[in-house]
Amino acid sequence: MIKAQLRNQVAALFLMLPIAAALSVLPTAAIAQPAEAELRSLEVSSDGGLSAGTELQFTVEGAPRAVVRVRIDGVKRNIVLKETSRGVYTGAYTVTRQDRISEDSPIRATLRLRNRTVMANYSFPAGISRPQAAAAVPSALKIDRFFMAPIDKIEPGSELRFTLNGMPGGVAEFDIPGIADNVRMRETRPGVYEGAYTLRRQDKLTPSRPIVATLRAGDRSVTSAMTAAPTADAKPPVIRNMAPRDGEAVMDGRAIAVSGTFDDAGGVGVDPATVRIMLSGRNITADSQITPQFFTYRADLPLGRYAVDVTAKDRAGNAVHRTWSFDVVTPVGATPVGVPLQITSHGNNAVIEGGSTTVRGRTAPGALVDVKVVGIPPLVGLFGMSQNVLQQRVQADASGNFSFTFAPQLPLPGTRYEINMESNKGNMKAESMLVLFQKQG
């Protein structure tokens, strides 16, 4: 019986030996690190060998949303790379006179994802220390064309694909202001460079700031700014929130504001230089405040009917034309009929700071005022996703004064707040709208 037990234990031990052997040959990193923390590749290039003053470009592919560093034997500091698209990290380093590097110097890449770290060793490509002869660089360093492939909508997850046509054999990259710098482009065929960037939710793409491409050869470089529309924008903008409203009878023509907002959701925004405003045949454009988001004209208007005619174009050339009319009907001092509703704290299209905003107004004593505040982000940032900021009923006091306060969860610069108010007392009611804009920057 004892011999049988001994044979079983020895057999079990031999059955376990292949497993132990298999485990013993696995790399330490493979045992310690989860599958999602990985380094897949590293590319390195130079614009002039490895001598002092040359720039080394690094591209690492690995797990997304990680911290990636590169260390070269002979260089005293780590080179931090930036994630320029999902799982792709790029960076550059200029060789100094104090560095001691050669083609044989090992390169170590480190990727840290949360509490996991993986490392991999690489080497310089053969021949990188021998810079190209100056005669190999053509004298005509230029970019013939830089453009972006049209997309239907700019939103988180959209891939922006860029193409640069220029001198072959160079190093090309592009910058998206405020979002990504030095995004490397690959030369897919002689003189044609291609690159891409995937938008993240926190990115704030500003159409008025151009995307710039750089093409380098040796110690020279040339740039080109992309002025074309970043989307396939064939949809014209819309003029909304006109004041006074179409057909409205204004009770007092003193310091009246004729205004409206431009809505080019999904497009590239209205060009203020193209806006023209006519009031009953008179050009009031030069006397108006005009921005890519709204226009406002203020003046004392005598009694009568007024026709408003507004034209504008977005930056892609799409035109909008809107007309409406209103009447100034009640002489000064006359008693208006119905429930009055007046905002006393803000002018239409006013700019507000971040945080809480209190709106004050005046209506009939004791009237109930239904308030709805909707926040509409600009083209960039949250990409057109409107949010219901406030829906509330307040009651005016004995003097007719009322107020309400709203505080958006995310006060994104440039957000438009459309505030609709309806005052009710008995069987009478009045409506009013106020538009406010979140301060830029």
Residues 202 and 124: beta-carbon distance below 8 Å = no
> For residue 31, which phi and psi values (nearest 5 degrees)?
-75, -40
Fold of 234-337: Immunoglobulin-like (2.60.40)
**Total Cβ atoms within 10 A of residue 136:** 10
Q: What is the pLDDT of residue 216?
A: 92
Cα end-to-end span (Å), the chain: 85
Q: CA 76 to CA 78: how far, in whole Å?
A: 7
Q: Which residues pair with 143 in a beta bridge?
A: 166
Q: Label residue 297 left, alpha or beta by phi (over 0 means left) and psi (-120 to 50 means alpha).
A: beta
Residues 261 and 416: beta-carbon distance below 8 Å = yes
Q: CA 363 to CA 423: how far, in whole Å?
A: 7
- List the structure tokens of 276: 């023209």
Residues 319 and 236: beta-carbon distance below 8 Å = yes
Top CATH class of 339-441 equals: mainly beta
- List the structure tokens of 131: 């810079």
DSSP output for 114-183: TTEEEEEEEEPPTTTTSPPPGGGS-S---EEEEEE---S---TTPEEEEEEEE-TT-EEEEEETTTEEEE
Top CATH class of 141-226 equals: mainly beta
Q: What is the pLDDT of residue 410?
A: 66
Q: What is the pLDDT of residue 14?
A: 38
| Edge-to-edge strand ranges of the sheet holding 341-343 | 341-343, 357-363, 401-406
DSSP output for 361-426: EEESTT-EEEEEEEEE--SSSSTT--EEEEEEEEE--TTSEEEEEE--SS--TT-EEEEEEEEEET
Residues 430 and 363: beta-carbon distance below 8 Å = yes
AA identity, residue 73:
D
- Of the candidates 212, 64, 203, 80, the one whose C-alpha atom is nearest the C-alpha of residue 146 is 212
Max Cα distance, the chain (Å): 119
Q: What is the DSSP letter of 32?
A: H
> For residue 10, which phi and psi values (nearest 5 degrees)?
-65, -40
Residues 122 and 42: beta-carbon distance below 8 Å = yes
- Which CATH number is 28-123's, of 1.25.10, 1.10.1760, 3.40.1000, 2.60.40? 2.60.40
Q: CA 8 to CA 2: how far, in whole Å?
A: 10
Q: What is the pLDDT of residue 323?
A: 94
This model's pTM is above 0.85: no
- List the structure tokens of 245: 């409203």
Q: CA 158 to CA 148: how far, in whole Å?
A: 13
Q: Are 141-226 and 234-337 equal in CATH topology?
A: yes
Q: What is the pLDDT of residue 265?
A: 67
DSSP output for 231-293: S---SPPEEEEEESPTT-EES--TTEEEEEEEE-TTS--B-GGG-EEEETTEE-GGGSEE-SS
> For residue 3, which phi and psi values (nearest 5 degrees)?
-65, -40
Q: What is the full per-residue pLDDT of the chain (441 aa) written as tens digits? A: 444 444 444 444 333 434 333 333 334 333 444 447 788 888 888 877 888 878 888 999 888 889 999 999 999 889 999 988 888 999 989 888 888 888 889 999 999 988 889 988 888 888 787 755 444 444 578 888 888 876 666 678 888 888 898 888 899 999 988 888 999 999 988 889 999 998 888 887 766 578 889 999 888 889 888 754 445 556 788 998 898 888 888 876 677 889 999 887 656 678 889 999 999 999 999 999 998 889 999 888 888 889 999 999 887 778 899 999 988 886 545 445 567 888 888 888 888 887 789 999 999 899 999 999 988 876 443 344 567 889 999 999 999 999 999 988 766 777 888 999 999 988 888 888 888 888 765
The domains of the chain are located at: 28-123, 141-226, 234-337, 339-441
